[in-house]
Amino acid sequence: MQKGSIAVIGAGKWGQALHFALSQKQKCYITSRTKKDIENFVDLKTAMDCEYLIIAIPAQEIRSWLKENFIFKGQKILVASKGIEATTGEFLNEIYANFIPSENVGFISGPSFAAEVIKGLPCALVINSTSKKLYESFQPFFPNFIKTYYSVDVIGAEIAGAYKNVLAIASGICEGLQLGKNAQASLIARGLVEMQRFGKYFGAKKSSFLGLSGAGDLFLTANSTMSRNFRVGLGLSQSKKLCVILEELGEVAEGVKTADAIDKLSKKYKIYTPIANEVKLILDGKNPKDSLKDLLKN
């Protein structure tokens, strides 16, 4: 292993933005399935030999990617993905635990549009890990325009980062149906309560939902067409087919599969998540206006 070296795995929007940020203070490698014309692009083997890895591939792809590519040699890992695995309902930390000791893994959360990070605009991120030592080892790699915080609440950050994508879809639908700012604000506020209720069931800390990981990322994502998930909601409000919306998007919108995962988990554990349940129904073809009526029923 190349001591002190760092690499980003996944050269999508977020991987490239993190690579830009982590290249400000030191050489940072980057790799992806297809070669890209990016500074310090290397093959997967070279990247995997780095001591510090940031993995920025879609949440639904992580298990298969780890199975096919990952060999633990003591690397320290930051997970940049946000989502819950739809096929199993497993959280990302549970998937990674099959391959890497928890003290070697951290999860990035917080309001962070890649399009702004790659321009060097200021932002704040949380590095969530059971190991503060892991946070302290990654922190010096981050540039001055990114303020990092540490939290031990991995499950809270994971749920917040994943759930807000589902709520962003709901907010995009609300915007697209032109229901007004009162409705949108109420939806987002009730969504925050719902997200925290869901997280509490899995042992998450309430404070995680009031901070950057929860409220911060939710307010960002649920109020901007910069969000892929918000744009999925806009498309659904115009009765576009989901496959057409995703084709036009050309990027991942994690909320689509995460809505399925949350729906499964909430039914399995009898957690009251009306907004996420309706998003799942709309993704399956329910008329958003019927969902609105159902959500407004007392």
Ligand X SMILES: NC(=O)c1ccc[n+]([C@@H]2O[C@H](COP(=O)([O-])OP(=O)(O)OC[C@H]3O[C@@H](n4cnc5c(N)ncnc54)[C@H](O)[C@@H]3O)[C@@H](O)[C@H]2O)c1
Residues tagged in the binding site annotation for sn-glycerol 3-phosphate: 82, 110, 112, 164, 217, 227-229
Q: For residue 164, indicate whether it is catalytic.
A: yes
Least distance from ligand G3P to the Cβ atom of residue 73, Å: 30
Residue 167 is a binding residue for ligand G3P (CB under 6 A): no
Position 165 contacts ligand G3P (CB under 6 A):
yes
Name the catalytic one among 36, 67, 132, 164: 164
Structure token digits, residue 219: 């307010």
Q: Which is nearer to ligand G3P, 16 or 227 (CB)?
A: 227
Among 151, 221, 223, 237, the residue binding ligand G3P under the rule CB under 6 A is 221
Query: In one letter, which amino acid is 200?
Result: K
The residues, any chain, with a CB within 8 Å of residue 34's CB and separated by 6 or more, are none
Binding mask 60-79 for ligand X (x = CB under 6 A): -x---x--------------
Tell me which long-range contacts 127-133 makes (C-beta under 8 A, separation of at least 24).
Answer: 127/78, 127/151, 128/152, 128/153, 128/154, 128/156, 128/157, 128/158, 128/213, 129/102, 129/103, 129/105, 129/154, 130/102, 130/103, 130/154, 131/102, 131/103, 131/104, 131/106, 133/103
The entry of ligand G3P, ligand X, none near residue 65 (CB within 5 to 8 angstroms by kind) is ligand X
The site map against ligand G3P for 65-104 (x = CB under 6 A) is -----------------x----------------------
- Single-letter residue type at 296: L
CB of 117 to ligand G3P, least distance (A): 9
Binding residues: 14, 33, 82, 110, 112, 114, 164, 217, 227-229, 252, 254
In the chain, % helix, strand, coil (3-state, to 5) comes to 55, 15, 35
> φ and ψ at 266, to 5 degrees?
-65, -35
The interface partner of residue 6, options being ligand G3P, ligand X, none and the CB cut-off 5 to 8 Å by kind, is none
Residue 178: half-sphere exposure toward Cβ, Cα within 13 Å: 1
The 123-128 sheet, strands edge to edge: 29-31, 2-9, 50-55, 76-79, 105-109, 123-128, 146-151
Question: What string marks each residue from 20 to 59 as x (binds ligand X by CB under 6 A) or -?
Answer: ------------xx----------------------xxxx
H or E stretch at 31: strand 29-31
**Residue 195 lies near ligand X (rule: CB under 6 A):** no
Choose, by CB under 6 A, the member of 91, 113, 163, 209 that binds ligand G3P. 113
Q: Which residues bind ligand X (CB under 6 A)?
A: 10-15, 32-33, 56-59, 61, 65, 80-83, 112-114, 251-252, 254
Would you name the residues annotated as active-site residues?
164
